[in-house]
Amino acid sequence: MSGTQQAPSVSIAPNLVESIGLHAWSETRRMLRISRQWPSLLVVLSATVVGAAGAHFAPADLLAAPDFFRTVCLRAIALLAIGYATAALRADADRGALALYLVRPRASLALPLGRLVATTGVIAVTGVLFACLLFGATAAVAVAPDIGHLPLMCLAAVLAAVGYTPLFMAVAAYFKRAAAICVAWFVVVDLMLASATTSFATFAPGPAVQTVAARYPDPHWYSDVLLAPIGQVFAIGAIATALLLWKFAADEPG
């Protein structure tokens, strides 16, 4: 029997899924601090008050809440996505801390994926709460729209998070002035060009998301009519995620 004991081997490479989960949980806790959530609270509460007031003074318009959500609230969610998605990466980059993450095993995938999951989740939940709060406030002060609009509003909010967040995070990974670039892209491509021509609408989540929110609820609201915009949003999100991961993999020390 040997007099020495061999230390148990410890793998230096953490499980990728566990690493992603740790990064996601850390980023979620950071994002949910009140000091970081006040822009969301301000946007949601102020837009809800404006939307409910509009419905109160136009009670004959039963689509007041869905239309207001489609034209105003979804764009507010996109602006929140710009702020949170760019901050998720640029704060580390500005401190020079990204290099420290990249020397850790599998961090080239775990860091961006974890933060992408966290940011997308927080924005999606914020959007769903936004839709429910607006719908409830409208119902309280005016005639409630068809309840079938609510799941479509919630679905549009989730799709906005899925489409915008990876797109803006990818921009933050490549450019230093990411927030300004994202705002300019959102205004020029998503609001102006995509509304003017269908060619640009293919590259912008906004028109597809608004198509979902604008659908009139019926027993077949989940039919093939919704598959095209949903597929378009997921395709944009997947391409942006691939570009984000490629940037981190390319920057990983050899």
Q: Determine how many CB atoms are found less than 10 A away from the CB of residue 213.
A: 24
194 vs 157 pLDDT, higher one: 157
Residue 43 confidence (pLDDT) above 90: no
What is the pLDDT confidence band of residue 128, given thresholds at 50, 70 and 90? very high
Nearest Cα to Cα of residue 240 among 159, 162, 170, 160: 170
The per-residue pLDDT for 162 is: 94
Average pLDDT of the chain, as a whole number: 75
Q: 224 falls in which pLDDT band (50, 70, 90)?
A: low
Segment 105-116 shows an average pLDDT of 74
Reported as type and span, the H/E element at residue 132 is helix 107-141
pTM of the predicted structure, to 2 decimals:
0.79
pLDDT of residue 145: 65
**pLDDT level of residue 220 (50, 70, 90 thresholds):** low
State the residue for tokens 């028109």: 207
Q: Name the more confident of 250 and 230.
A: 230
Query: Length of the chain in residues, anyone?
Result: 254
Region 198-207: what's the mean pLDDT? 70
Q: Is the pLDDT confidence value at 178 over 80?
A: yes
CB-neighbour burial class of residue 31 (10 A; exposed 0-12, middle 13-18, buried 19+): buried
pLDDT score of 164: 93
- Torsion angle in degrees (nearest 10) through CA of 239, 24, 77, 81: -60
Sign of CA dihedral 226, 234, 158, 18: positive
Between residues 3 and 133, the one the model is more confident about: 133
Q: What's the rounded Cα separation, in Å, for the pair 232 and 142?
A: 35
User: Does pLDDT of 197 surpass 70?
Assistant: no
Q: Which of 90, 169, 91, 92 is nearest to 123 (CA)?
A: 169
Q: Is 56 helix (H, G, I), strand (E, B) or coil?
A: helix
More confident residue, 149 or 170: 170
Asked if pLDDT for residue 4 goes beyond 70, the answer is no
Nearest in space to 138 (alpha carbons), one of 212, 202, 213, 50: 50
Confidence of residue 12 (pLDDT cuts 50, 70, 90): very low
Helices (H), 142-223: 149-174, 178-185, 194-196, 198-201, 205-214
Q: Is the pLDDT of residue 133 over 80?
A: yes
Please tell me which residue, 70 or 221, carries the higher pLDDT value: 70
Total H helices, total E strands in the chain: 12, 0
Mean pLDDT of 83-88: 85
* Predicted local distance difference test score (pLDDT) of residue 167: 92
pLDDT at 221 over 70: no
Residue-level pLDDT at 111: 80
Element containing residue 48 per DSSP (H, E): helix 34-57
Rounded mean pLDDT, 223-252: 83
Using the predicted structure, report yes or no on whether residue 77 has a pLDDT greater than 60: yes
CA distance 66 to 170: 30
Closest by CA to 203, choosing from 165, 246, 163, 175, is: 163
15 against 199, higher pLDDT: 15
